Structure 1
């Protein structure tokens, strides 16, 4: 593990500065593709609603299919090469879209394949990166490190869509995806400057256990830990109801509230600013309130925000302001929760179990997004957009109530739960 003394700024840790720079580049590129990919499908390839829905599903489906098994691999391989190769493959896959477009051979089937390949590489990267970070920074700086990374992601979410719209109007959606491809290549080259890491050490001398035994070992760690167990349950309900809201978010603003495209863009930007504020506040809230109260507070905010959103009516400036404020509050708590949970999980999990424990929660949270989207669409067909947003917002209080009733609410410091090396070390 690369250790560094406490400094005023975590960016004095050169290894973390490299990782943060690399991620910041790819975060911005990802936001460009977030806008350009569906526009390529709709505007260039005349995709059907079913094809667009499948395109969205393929982004997160790999977490359900492969996430747990990737966690086992991450615990058996060096992690830096996984990060580099995941970015390299994403570069190659995304680069095919503008090349095929220029050659006039691009099809919706190719777009679906590329999306799936990128999704699979995202699984490898996300789990490996979460497991690699604790080896770069001291564990008492993990909240700071994750907060900086989350803030960078939030900045990209604020700036990226507007930048994507301007670029698409100049050069077209398929060519904008080329910029994202290049961002992955640049990030991969930057990651080569990170310290080499070896295969995570294990207690056993007889070699790694079979895959299924390794998976059970990861589940057992989550099950034994009060913090990880309750937060994993909370993540399921948070992802389910949050994705139910977001599946209908744009339809609600445009069709139910009658907002124009410009107003919707400003409202979404306001929400992204809320995400940025949450990322910047996470470390301070943990210091002021402690881990348990911070988690409960963070989980209360999405419910309040989106419940307020369900009362937005009309296309007036006041309605747009209310929608922006509601979205700000709805997005504010998510990064606070994420930074706190991720940092705590990384800190209390033994190194040789990081991949499986991170994969367990990541696969559940990202995989549940597709289920929540389907649930939101189905409920909207029966209850209507406004009622579905409202009931989904009520559902978002469930994870906060669960933690409020659990022993987690009393936790102030990680030391109250377990020493950093103890979870999974016996």
Structure 2
């Protein structure tokens, strides 16, 4: 198996450093939810075209996961993390010419490079947290990292809206339709230029973090040559069904996670909800609540398997709520937070946000279950699980295609039902399968 070459009493510093990295994961990842409706406006895209943002970002995990795992073996985890941050800084800087030209293809290339750097950080950090303590409490530790990650997801849409879309009223369809074509192009170009300073600042912050990782006391993961617990004649990671099925579970999970976070703005915009670019924050807040449950209850009150089972059931209920509830009534939001003064949203959008609570514990539960007993196949298992993140590329794009073809965003959310049903299957059976026979 893999172990952290550090004493138990010295795990605080590694947790802090990796926690900072998880905040960066969240900041970069959940910016997409606000970027999609923004680029839809600036580049004049339909829903299907706009969701190529998620495709370009998340497909990098599929393309780069195995190459990055090879790089990690050669560089070690600390140097690999620093390299990942450097690649991300380059991706952030590539957004500058994209913003200057308002060219959608440039934006997609920049997002791919940004995600490529993020891939090496994810490949290193997730198994790192799993092996930083007892495997039985790994879901609790990953939940702590998830809290940090999703806290960034709460902040990003709010910051994006206040800094980039503060004068959004002058960019409505009605306001733009009254302008000549040249004047309209000029206004959209001005809006695109608003991205330049934020991405310059992001590149500076990422560069500064390279020093933190490079010169911190972050220990290495030592890989022993021990055989897997379920050894037999297994010579490939694909001989471990619970890991392969776990990667599929993450494929479906990341797909619905991205749909919940990155399409809620599009859905809100289609229903005329004000400040639609900030709606991702609602999904992230509910995910934070879900991770709080994981931190406090796993494994003390709820096992990782039970948490996963509950996620599958709750997700199915949310999908039914989205497609069957009102697009006008705000009764659920009135009860949940209307009394706080926070703007309420229609019931159907509330259920999209509640998907964040429903599936919050899938990621922290699947990782320890899927890596269990891999021995010296753990690195390959981690890379395979990271490749499951490609669900965030494919399923939202499929969602966009369906909604564009049928002209109904609400009905397109049916795509989430089989995803949650598979998560339910992995919770009750899939994680325990040790042989394909």
Please indicate, yes or no, whether the TM-score normalized by the shorter chain is above 0.5. Answer: yes
Match of 2:90 in 1: 92
Match of 1:210 in 2: none
Match of 1:331 in 2: 356
Offset of residue 384 of structure 1: 3.5
Match of 2:19 in 1: 20
Distance (Å, rounded) in 1 between the aligned partners of 2:317 and 2:257: 12
Distance (Å, rounded) in 1 between the aligned partners of 2:252 and 2:24: 31
Per-residue CA deviation, residues 193-217 of structure 1 (Å, 9 max, x unaligned), is: 143537744469xxxxxxxxxx972
Helix, strand or coil: the match of 1:287? coil
Match of 1:156 in 2: 152
Offset of residue 307 of structure 1: 1.6
Task: Select which of 161, 167, 172 maps to 1:165.
Answer: 161
Offset of residue 309 of structure 1: 1.7
CA contact (8 A) 2:14 2:217 kept: yes
CA contact (8 A) 2:55 2:396 kept: no
Structure 1 runs not aligned, ≥5 long = 205-214, 412-416
Match of 2:138 in 1: 142
Match of 2:412 in 1: 388
Per-residue CA deviation, residues 123-170 of structure 1 (Å, 9 max, x unaligned), is: 222112223334544545533321111001111111210111112247
- Residues 323 and 54 of structure 1: CA distance in aligned 2, closer, same or farther (over 3 Å): closer
Task: Select which of 228, 234, 249 maps to 1:234.
Answer: 249
Offset of residue 301 of structure 1: 1.5
- Residues 347 and 216 of structure 1: CA distance in aligned 2, closer, same or farther (over 3 Å): closer
TM-score scaled to structure 2, two decimals? 0.74
Offset of residue 180 of structure 1: 2.1
Distance (Å, rounded) in 2 between the aligned partners of 1:110 and 1:383: 28
Match of 2:62 in 1: 64
Match of 2:390 in 1: 367
Distance (Å, rounded) in 2 between the aligned partners of 1:382 and 1:303: 22
Structure 2 runs not aligned, ≥5 long = 167-192, 228-233, 333-344
Match of 1:218 in 2: 237
- Residues 58 and 383 of structure 1: CA distance in aligned 2, closer, same or farther (over 3 Å): closer
CA contact (8 A) 1:94 1:177 kept: yes
Per-residue CA deviation, residues 95-121 of structure 1 (Å, 9 max, x unaligned), is: 2433x479x567544433322222222
TM-score scaled to structure 1, two decimals? 0.76
Distance (Å, rounded) in 2 between the aligned partners of 1:32 and 1:242: 14
Offset of residue 41 of structure 1: 7.8
- Residues 40 and 282 of structure 1: CA distance in aligned 2, closer, same or farther (over 3 Å): same
- Residues 111 and 401 of structure 1: CA distance in aligned 2, closer, same or farther (over 3 Å): closer
Distance (Å, rounded) in 1 between the aligned partners of 2:378 and 2:316: 31
Helix, strand or coil: the match of 2:325? coil
Once structures 1 and 2 are overlaid, which stretch shifts more, 133-142 or 63-72? 133-142
Distance (Å, rounded) in 2 between the aligned partners of 1:15 and 1:405: 33
CA contact (8 A) 2:254 2:391 kept: yes
1:7-406 alignment runs, 5 A limit: 13-25=12-24, 27-28=26-27, 30-32=29-31, 35-36=34-35, 39=38, 42-43=41-42, 46=43, 48-49=45-46, 52-75=50-73, 77-98=75-96, 100=97, 107-134=103-130, 136-137=132-133, 139=135, 141-169=137-165, 172-192=194-214, 193-197=216-220, 200-202=223-225, 217-220=236-239, 222-223=240-241, 226=242, 228-239=243-254, 249-255=264-270, 258-262=271-275, 264=276, 267-283=279-295, 284-318=297-331, 320=345, 322-323=347-348, 325-346=350-371, 348-350=373-375, 352-364=376-388, 366-380=389-403, 381-382=405-406, 384-389=408-413, 391-403=414-426, 406=429
Cα RMSD of the aligned pairs, angstroms, is 3.7
CA contact (8 A) 1:41 1:108 kept: no
